Amino acid sequence: MHQVEMLRAALEEKTRMKSTKLLVLSMIALISTGVAFGQQESAYDFKISKAFMAELLNQNSIQFKATGKTIDHSGVHSLGSDCEMHIAADPTRIDFGSPDNFVVEPPNECEMPPAGTPGHITGTKLSKLWIKEIETTMFDGRDANGDLIGRECTFIGFPRIFTEHAQTSGENASNPDHVFEIHPLLAADCGSGNQLSWGPDTITSFPGMRQITPGSADACIRERTLEVKTDQQGDYTFREAGASGTGGRCGNFAVVEITTVDFLRTINGGHSAIARVTADGQNNATLKLYAFKGTDLDNWIVTNAGRVTADTRMYALGLFTYDYFQVKKLIDSHADLSQWTTINFPLAFILYGETETPPWQASSDGD
């Protein structure tokens, strides 16, 4: 009798262990499935809403208008950084996508005073003047806690789309996670006569401005890839690859040498062109250029299109951006975007100004 009870107990223990094992395996499978679904749902780097893409394509301009309520602003960055301010805003008329906030960046505020400012102002005085101008124009004062009160403004400038600040855990209120920028900012209209503008002369370069290394710039141009796919809501999701490791990463400002300029086109707000460039003095690549009407580099590409010589080659400072005009080509061609589709030549370069220093001789990493 004792042996029978022992055998029964052993069988019950074996059954219990088997049931526990099955339960554990089921839980692992469930968790794995959940992770897989989660990865599938979030397997993109940023999203542009269907409505916002339609607005980009409708305006079809490098002087794009975007409306949003301001959140906060940074100080004026030094020349060794980007010589700009960050003003964060929350879109008020169209859902941009993910991340949804955007940032506007006026050009060269560390060197150039607001239009109409008398005298020559530099340094701390210039920074304080710009902060006063920005707060007076773009904000409605401060609340009882001393926080800025936002104001709805319409901003005009280049619709830059890039990911160097897409996942920063919200560095600060003036630089939240974002992929969309008005950069450079050319004008702001915040109602009731509150307006600011930046003319073509402000889109230029100064010696000592920060830029990514030649190796990073070269890797960005030659290795960065971008794919697009529509989701179930018809929004556009994007994923990127390449030029993100220790061998080089895409950043903000860079310098390239322009060796040829072809396929010049007049577009809303300026010109575009297809160029051959080198970012490190060794490798050559094809890169789309954008230039604002009235700037020195716009005049240069118009004058030299199809006839750049060794004597007229240009070292140009500018900004990398994803080229939404390339996405427009896919949409206009009625391509099937229900599956991941490669965007050919996804990068473009927003021209700022000439620099006399060859990019492979002097540069400091930055973003």
- Please tell me the pTM assigned to this model: 0.85
pLDDT at 224: 94
Burial class (CB in 10 A: 0-12, 13-18, 19+), 178: buried
Q: H or E stretch including 30?
A: helix 2-41
pLDDT in single tens digits along all 367 residues of the chain: 444 454 455 445 544 544 444 444 444 443 443 333 334 445 899 999 999 999 999 999 999 999 999 999 999 999 988 999 999 999 999 999 999 999 999 999 999 999 888 888 889 999 999 999 999 999 999 999 999 999 999 999 999 999 887 776 555 788 888 999 999 999 999 999 999 999 999 999 999 888 999 999 999 999 999 999 999 999 999 999 998 765 557 888 999 999 999 999 999 999 999 999 999 999 999 999 999 999 999 999 999 999 888 888 899 999 999 998 898 888 888 888 999 999 999 999 999 999 987 878 754 444 4
What pLDDT does residue 191 have? 97
CB 89 within 8 A of CB 102: yes
Contact 166, 240 (CB under 8 A): no
Q: How do beta strands 180-189 and 102-104 pair?
A: parallel
Nearest-angstrom CA–CA distance, 287 and 260: 10
Cβ within 8 Å of residue 121, ≥6 positions away: 113, 129
Distance CA 89, CA 134 (A): 13
Bridge-based pairing of strands 46-48 and 195-197 is: unpaired
Identity of the residue numbered 7: L
β-pairing, 236-241 with 225-230?
antiparallel
Partners of 66 in beta bridges: 155
Tokens of residue 170, six digits: 């919200």
Write down the residue that tokens 């020559």 correspond to: 120
Q: Which of 27, 28, 198 is nearest to 111 (CA)?
A: 198
**Contact by Cβ (8 Å): 206, 111:** yes
- Return the sign of the alpha-carbon dihedral for residues 265, 267, 270, 274: negative
* Nearest-angstrom CA–CA distance, 288 and 275: 6
